[in-house]
Amino acid sequence: MTLLKVMAFSLAILLSYTLFANILPQVQSDPPAEEEPIVPDDMDVAGMISWGETLFSGKGTCTLCHTNMGRAPDMLALDLGAEFAERLADPRYTGKAKGLEGAEAVQSYVEESMVDPSAYVVAGFGKKGTGDTVSPMPAVNAAPIQLSDIEMNALTAFLQSRAGVDVTVPLPTAAEDGASAADTGEEEGPAETAVAAFGKFGCSVCHDLDGSGAEVGPKLGGIGARIGRDGVREAILDPNATIAKGFEPDIMPGDLGEQMRASELELVLDYLMVLPENGARE
């Protein structure tokens, strides 16, 4: 009899806890979508701003800390134009945006804040005991947030619009989609050979390299003799600077400079410098 009473009593307590847990607001937290977002080729500035706004409270998880609770500056409530100007004018600020003006300054500052939050910490928001030199904010392009470059551009566009300046981020084009494929290549580690780099960055898709036979871009055989190492380097890092005769601008990806590691670039340059005129290589 005692056993029954005790069991009934324990069961009643358990049920009351279970009931309480069930009447509270039920929220299921799903992991962020794995697939890269499909970015329309013709996404314009307004589209970027609106996408950035979605990211701010979505995948970017910015609103977790950037609220009125005092853990991080309340971005949505502040006058960002005045706020950013104040921070850049702070003698403590020694980051990349120093000396820049207007929209450029905002873009540089925002991008820096996203990938290197501790470059400048707003007074009072640093980690306890570090004297505002270390930020508790994680880098948004690293785990766990892992925003891609396009997504960070969208966020920058959103913040630029809220700061009342022009949006100066590059809009996504076909090149950008190619770049995101290169992003996934990044995760596999640096290319060890030039040929590996060609595959990783899609060079053989347009240029006849490693037997690909592609003719979208100029033949690269003997290019070292024609324009020299510096010329090839410029052609890779800033493709629109000089367009080969018979070809069009804005086709080659413009952000290989951000995608490639220095070691990979040097491997490619080494390879192309000695690539014979007829393109064949042992």
Partner 1 sequence: MIVHRHSVFWTLALALLAGLLVGLVPDLIAAAEPEALVQPTRADYPSIAGLSSRTVVWSLAQMHLFLAAFVLAVPLFVLCIELAGVLTRETRYDDMAHEFMKISMAAYSFTALAGGGLTIALFLLYPNLMNFMMRVFQGQTLIYAALFGLESVCLYIYFYSWNALRHGNRKWFHMSIGVMLNMVGLGLLFIANAWTTFMMSPAGVDPSGAITGTVWDATHNPLWNPLNLHRFLANIAYGGAIVGAYAAYRFLSARTAAERAHYDWMGYTSNIIAVVGFLPLPFAGYWLMAEIYSYSQQMGITAMGGILAWLFIIQAVLIGTILLAANYYLWCGLGRTERGAHYAPYVKYIAVVLVGGFLVWVTPHTIILTPQEIQTMGGTSHKFLGPLGIMPAKNIAVNLMLVFTFLSFQMFYRSSRTPTVSWAKAGNAAIVALYIVGCLNIVAAGIYGYITPTVYKVGASVPQVATTLSIIVFTAIIDGFMLRGARKTEINWGRMPARSQYALFVLPVAFTWLMALMGYIRSSLRTNWHVYTIMKDASPEAYIPTIGEAGNMITLVTLSFMALIVFIFWLSQLGATKQQMPEAGTTVEEAAP
Partner 2 sequence: MSYRWVVFAGALVAWLVYFYVIDAAIMEGQGLPVAWHLMPK
Task: List residues binding partner 2 (CB under 8 A).
Answer: 128-129, 131
Find the binder of partner 1 among 13, 46, 216, 225 (CB under 8 A).
Answer: 13
- Whether the Cβ atoms of residue 24 and residue 129 lie closer than 8 Å to each other: no
Out of 47, 73, 127, 199, name the contact with partner 1 by CB under 8 A: 127
- Judged by CB under 8 A, the number of residues near partner 1 is 42
Give the distance, in angstroms, between the CA of residue 247 and the centroid of all CA atoms in the same chain.
30
Q: Which does 69 bind (CB under 5 to 8 A by kind): partner 1, partner 2, none?
A: partner 1
Of 170, 192, 233, nearest to 39 (Cα)?
A: 170
Distance (Å, whole) CA 55 – CA 159 = 11
Q: Which of 50, 61, 168, 204 binds partner 1 (CB under 8 A)?
A: 61
- How far does CA 113 lie from the centroid of its chain? 12
Q: Encoding tokens for residue 115?
A: 């990938």
Using CA atoms, how far residue 272 sits from 120, 126, 186, in Å, is 41, 48, 22
Nearest residue (CB) to partner 2, 129 versus 246: 129
Residue keyed to tokens 């309480």? 20
The minimum distance between CB 129 and partner 2, in angstroms, equals 4
Residues of this chain, 165-204, that bind partner 1 according to CB under 8 A: 187-189
Specify the length of the chain in residues. Answer: 282
Q: Residue 33 CB, nearest distance to partner 1 (Å)?
A: 11
Closest separation in Å from C-beta 131 to partner 2: 7
* The entry of partner 2, partner 1, none that residue 28 binds, CB within 5 to 8 Å by partner kind: partner 1
131: partner contacted, choices partner 1, partner 2, none (Cβ within 5-8 A by kind): partner 2
Distance CA 138, CA 132 (A): 15
